[in-house]
Structures are given as C-alpha cells and as structure tokens.
Amino acid sequence: MISYQEIRSSTIQSRTLAGVANGTYLFCLPGSSGACQTGWSIIKDQLDSRNRPCNLAQLIPRLTET
C-alpha cells in the first residue's frame, strides 16, 4: 500500500521477497533505490524489539527450531 501511494500502478512490477534460511532472515528488495528505501522503512521497525505489539525480533530465537 505504501508503494502504491508513491508510484501508483507501477507497484505491481515490484518483486519483493522475504524468507528464512539457516536461522537468518532474508529480504530481497526491488532494484531501484527508492523502492529499497520504502521497503527498508517497513522492515527496520520489525527488526526492533521495542516495536509493539509485535515484531520479527521476538521470533529470532525460534528460527533455528526444528
């Protein structure tokens, strides 16, 4: 939605992807610098344990569970 507000229908060309591999978060952001800045503005808050009510930082200890 944030991307759509900035670039309208061109946002459909975005190929953002995220996942977990070997207990590590992986984020693949689109190639343009503007798109990366938009994506990072969302991700960085989720990696901060002070962000409430939920965040990805709380899940880090569970990433290596089998």
pLDDT for 26:
93
Q: What is the pLDDT of residue 24?
A: 92
Residue 50 lies in a domain: yes
What integer pLDDT is reported at residue 51 of this predicted model? Answer: 87
Q: What is the pLDDT of residues 15-65, one digit of tens each?
A: 778 899 999 999 998 778 888 888 888 889 888 989 888 888 888 888 888
Is 8 inside any structural domain?
no
Which residues 6+ apart lie within 8 Å of 46 measured at CB? 55, 56, 57
For residues 38 and 6, is the Cβ–Cβ distance under 8 A? yes
DSSP single-letter state for residue 41: H
5 lies in a domain?
no
Residue 7 lies in a domain: no
Q: What per-residue confidence (pLDDT) applies to 53?
A: 85
Q: What's the pTM?
A: 0.67
Structural domain count of the chain:
1
Rounded to an integer, what distance in angstroms lies between the CA atom of residue 23 and that of residue 61?
Answer: 9
CA–CA dist 62, 23 (Å, integer): 8
Q: In whole angstroms, how large is the CA radius of gyration of the chain?
A: 14
